[in-house]
Amino acid sequence: MASQIFNFGAGPAMLPQPVMERIQKEFLNFNDMGVGLIEISHRSKQFGEVLEKAKALFRELSGVPDNYKILFLHGGARMQFSALPLNLLARKQPRRAYYYETGNFSKLAFKDAQRYGDVRVLSSSVSTDFDRIPDFNLDELDEDASYVHLTSNNTIYGTRWNSFPDTGDVPLITDQTSDILSRQMDYSKFGMVYAGLQKNLGPSGMAIVVIREDLLGHAIPTTPVLMDYSVCAKDNSLTNTTNTFAIYTTMLVLEWLKEQGGVAAIEQRNNEKAGLIYELIDRTPFYSSVAQPAHRSMMNVTFTLPSEEMTDKFLKEAGAAGLYALKGHRNLGGVRASIYNPMPKEGVLSLTSFMEEFERKNG
Least distance to a second copy, CB of residue 172, Å: 23
Residue 46: partners with Cβ closer than 8 Å, 6 or more residues away: 30, 31, 33, 40
Helices (H), the chain: 17-25, 45-62, 76-88, 104-114, 229-234, 244-259, 262-283, 308-320, 345-362
Residue 8 or 68 having the CB closest to a second copy: 8
Least distance to a second copy, CB of residue 294, Å: 29
Residue 131 or 228 having the CB closest to a second copy: 228
Residues of this chain that bind a second copy (CB under 8 A) = 1-2, 4-5, 7, 9-15, 20-21, 23-24, 27-28, 32-36, 38-42, 44, 74-79, 81-83, 86, 112, 115-116, 196, 198, 203-206, 221-222, 224-227, 239-246, 249, 322, 324-325
Residue 81 or 161 having the CB closest to a second copy: 81
- Angle CA 33–29–242, to nearest 5: 80
Please state, as a whole number, how many other Cβ atoms lie within 10 Å of the Cβ of residue 205. 16
Length of the chain: 363
Least distance to a second copy, CB of residue 200, Å: 13
Residue 59 or 78 having the CB closest to a second copy: 78
Q: In terms of Cα–Cα distance, which of 290, 319, 280 is closest to 156? A: 290
Least distance to a second copy, CB of residue 239, Å: 7
- Separation in Å, CA 99 to CA 147, 157, 174, 282: 9, 18, 10, 32
Residue 153 or 243 having the CB closest to a second copy: 243
Q: Residues 361, 286, 275, 270: is their CA dihedral positive or negative? A: negative
Least distance to a second copy, CB of residue 150, Å: 19
Residue 14 or 291 having the CB closest to a second copy: 14
Least distance to a second copy, CB of residue 86, Å: 7
Q: From the DSSP assignment, how many helices (H) and strands (E) are in the chain?
A: 9, 14
Assess contact for 124 and 151: CB atoms under 8 A.
Answer: no
